[in-house]
Amino acid sequence: MKLKSITQILGYEELVENRECEKFSKGYTSDLLSDVIGNCEADSVLITIQAHKNTIAVATLSDIRGIILCNGRKAPVDMIQAAEDESIAIYQTDDNQFEASWKIRQLMDS
């Protein structure tokens, strides 16, 4: 599935573009970063409300392609900078984690 679809089809705002990889194949929803680091598979998009720089470190270690920040959570400047450096996409939406997960699943099945 193309990362671009998250913006083009779901209408989520892209804050950072993943310039190295344009696709993802899995999704993972969690707000506990230790759970993400332990269980999220490579090549995923992460659906979360954890809008801070540490999420980028965890995404880097877990080969996550993009992060969807739910509930309108704002990405701080240092998070955006870290995501640019690591080329991990960030999207923002007012949807909650359940709604975003459902939409991503539909996108992957379409």
Q: Which residues bind other proteins (CB under 8 A)?
A: 32-34, 37-38, 50, 52, 54, 57-58, 60-62, 86
Q: How far is CA 110 from the centre of its chain?
A: 19
Comparing CB distances to other proteins, the nearer of 86 and 99 is: 86
Comparing CB distances to other proteins, the nearer of 1 and 18 is: 18
> What is the spatial distance between Cα 103 and Cα 84, in angstroms, rounded to a whole number?
25
Smallest distance from other proteins to CB 50, Å: 8
Smallest distance from other proteins to CB 63, Å: 10
Paired tokens of 18: 């993943």
Q: How many CA atoms lie within 13 A of 53 on its CB side?
A: 7
